[in-house]
Structure 1
Amino acid sequence: MLQVNNLSVHYGDKRIINDISFTLSSDEILMLVGPTGCGKTTILQCVAGLVPQSAGEVAFTNWRSTSQKHIPPEKRNLGMVFQDFALFPHLTVEQNVCFRVKDSTLADQWLELLGLNDKRHVKPGNLSGGQKQRVALARTLAHQPSVVLLDEPLSNLDAALKDSLRWDIRDALKRAQVPAIWVTHDQSEALSVGDRVGVLKDGILQQLDTPERCFSAPSNPFVARFLGEASFLRGQVQPDGINSALGVINKRPESVSDGEVQILVRPDDVLFVESGDKPNGTIDYSRYEGETRLFGITLHSGESIKLRANHEVVFKPGDNVQVAFNANESPAVFPAESSS
């Protein structure tokens, strides 16, 4: 089990990582997400031993690194997969994967499982981006690392390839039964692939939980906004629910006390009322997305929300509409003054 306890990193007087702790179990995939410069890659480099920590510890079964006792990267038995592939251009696929591998049967195994058998004697310059990333992953797994660290491995690939390759990588990691920390800036990638998701802001871990919990029960408005489209409505907590511009939400969260709150509204949490005999909003825009349409709506209260509906639903800017909550669960709510 990998353990990161109270990890902090400073570059001079600038704090990059502040007091972060988490554990990584046997074959768990932890996704780290956050805006550019939030510190997610620095955490990866600290775990790898490429950047020394200012405080705290990083420990595995047979080693423990602190600010006083640094364990060099070569002593940690970690594998890294980079966004730029880092392959030897003068070596073939087979030679890249077998580089410094003691047991070549492991290399053969991963070449087979990752669909690279017919590319064994091809050099990286003649491979597609997806094939190069499979080679990089096969090389890493052939060394039997204790932990795999992936630094935005799909960022250099086109959207269609990303969608399929993310599952190939996840399946390979699970088959190898090796834990992994995967850094990404892609929210959908983090939510779909990770067993847990850690959301960072300014070097501080805002939330660490399952993808479902991070999305449906975010710890603060920042996490809500970062992990998906989010609008917020003013609400007034009452004994029987929460009153809002869309009516009363009958399910009152147990943790909420009386008073004003912000209600998190996702585009799928609201729907058009078919009768529409009591309009409560006006269409600002309609964006065709293929299977769905995304509508921007200004409510009569002056608040704005987004609504996603089937592509066959058609409204044009200026149309008056009636919308209502469509959430089956209690909505996430935050204190009225909360903004981060």
Structure 2
Amino acid sequence: MIEVQNVSVHYGQKKVVDNLSFILGDAELLTLVGPTGCGKTTILQALAGLIPISDGTIKLGSHTVTATKTIAPEKRQVGMVFQDFALFPHLTVIENVSFKLKDNAKADYWIELLGLTPWRDVKPANLSGGQKQRVALARTLAHEPAFVLLDEPLSNLDAALKDDLRWEIRQALKEAGVPAIWVTHDQEEALSVGDRIGILKDGKLQQIDTPENCFSKPQSRFVARFLGDASFLPGTLNTSSNIVATALGNAPASPVNDAQGEVDLLLRPDDLSLTLDEAGNGEIIWSRYEGSARLYGVKTDAGATVKIRCSHENIAEPGQRVMMHIITTHPLAVFER
């Protein structure tokens, strides 16, 4: 278990991490996501003992770290997985994974589990990016760390590799049964692999919850926008029924911070339907082809702009009139206007 209480980190006069608190359970995977410069990597460095904290407490098993009491990185039993792999170029896969191990049994176990057996005696220069990252993970887990920190582990890989490898890494971490913190700038990655997700802005944790709750019940407009395409449609909330009335129809509502009266309804692109209709309630202003889908920007007759994602077979052009309806049946977040 990792417990972080009111931790802050300063670089000179600048506060890079501000009053951070969370508890990470045994075998739990937490993803941290946020804009560039929000403090994600600094948090990992502080947990690893690479930089000191300015305030607060970090509890790592039986160890407690404060601003005045630090513990050397090598005594924290931390495993680190980096975006640049950090492999020894002159060593083979088995030599990299078993480096400083007295018994190769653990190295053999992770090499086999991560599908690296055919490359056991191969050096990194002859491996693909995905294979190198598997070797780096195998090396980390073979040393039986108390917790694992992953700093943008997939950012140097081709997009085609990322989807499968993110799940391989997640499954390996679950197999190891260790708590892990995975830092990424990729919102889709953060939502798909984390048991919980933490969203950071300017060094402050804006929200930490399950991916589903952060996406569908964001606690701020910043979180809503950061985790995916977001539109805000004006409406009026009936607090007795928790139904919000809008120009595109009614929808069940989940008020944020006790919002009431005149509100803005959070709509994701899949919450709306769209059909060509000259007598419709909006007009296409832009279109983006995404392969299996098309994303449209549509201006409603009431003046708001919303994003709608449809099948790639649903083709509309800028300037065409369309009819839109809210089709979701689950409660949507509403914010006070």
TM-score, length-normalised on structure 1? 0.95
1:247 aligns with 2:249: yes
Q: Give the structure 2 partner of residue 302 of structure 1.
A: 303
Q: Give the structure 2 partner of residue 328 of structure 1.
A: 329
Per-residue CA deviations over 1:185-210 (Å, capped at 9, x if unaligned) read 00010111000000000000000000
Flag the 1:90–1:56 CA change in 2: closer, same or farther, 3 A. same
Offset of residue 247 of structure 1: 2.7
Q: Give the structure 2 partner of residue 188 of structure 1.
A: 188
Offset of residue 15 of structure 1: 0.6
1:156 aligns with 2:156: yes
Flag the 1:217–1:252 CA change in 2: closer, same or farther, 3 A. closer
Q: Secondary structure at the match of 1:332?
A: strand
Q: How far apart, in 1, do the equivalents of 2:26 and 2:228 lie? A: 29
Per-residue CA deviations over 1:156-201 (Å, capped at 9, x if unaligned) read 0000001111011011001111110000000010111000000000
Q: Give the structure 1 partner of residue 266 of structure 2.
A: 264
Q: Secondary structure at the match of 2:6?
A: strand
Unaligned runs of 5+ in 1: none
CA contact (8 A) 2:297 2:307 kept: yes
Q: How far apart, in 1, do the equivalents of 2:144 and 2:255 lie? A: 47
Q: How far apart, in 2, do the equivalents of 1:126 and 1:114 lie? A: 17
Q: How far apart, in 2, do the equivalents of 1:229 and 1:20 lie? A: 27
Offset of residue 222 of structure 1: 0.5
Offset of residue 312 of structure 1: 1.5
Q: How far apart, in 2, do the equivalents of 1:129 and 1:114 lie? A: 14
Q: Give the structure 2 partner of residue 71 of structure 1.
A: 71
Per-residue CA deviations over 1:113-146 (Å, capped at 9, x if unaligned) read 1111111111111111111101100000000001
Q: Secondary structure at the match of 1:312?
A: coil
Per-residue CA deviations over 1:247-301 (Å, capped at 9, x if unaligned) read 333x243664532211111100110258x47411001122222221111101111
1:23 aligns with 2:35: no
The residue type paired with residue 272 of structure 2 is V
Q: Give the structure 2 partner of residue 319 of structure 1.
A: 320
Q: Give the structure 2 partner of residue 82 of structure 1.
A: 82
Q: How far apart, in 1, do the equivalents of 2:87 and 2:331 lie? A: 49
Q: Give the structure 2 partner of residue 53 of structure 1.
A: 53
CA contact (8 A) 1:197 1:208 kept: yes
Q: Secondary structure at the match of 1:91?
A: coil
Q: How far apart, in 1, do the equivalents of 2:31 and 2:160 lie? A: 20
The residue type paired with residue 265 of structure 1 is L
Q: How far apart, in 1, do the equivalents of 2:226 and 2:255 lie? A: 25
Q: How far apart, in 1, do the equivalents of 2:275 and 2:154 lie? A: 41
Q: Give the structure 2 partner of residue 143 of structure 1.
A: 143
Cα RMSD for the two superposed structures: 1.4
CA contact (8 A) 2:253 2:334 kept: no
Which stretch of the first structure deviates more once superposed, 116-125 or 168-177? 116-125
The residue type paired with residue 34 of structure 2 is G
The residue type paired with residue 281 of structure 1 is G
Q: How far apart, in 1, do the equivalents of 2:268 and 2:91 lie? A: 49
Flag the 1:144–1:248 CA change in 2: closer, same or farther, 3 A. same
Q: How far apart, in 1, do the equivalents of 2:165 and 2:206 lie? A: 28
CA contact (8 A) 1:273 1:324 kept: no
Q: How far apart, in 2, do the equivalents of 1:128 and 1:295 lie? A: 37
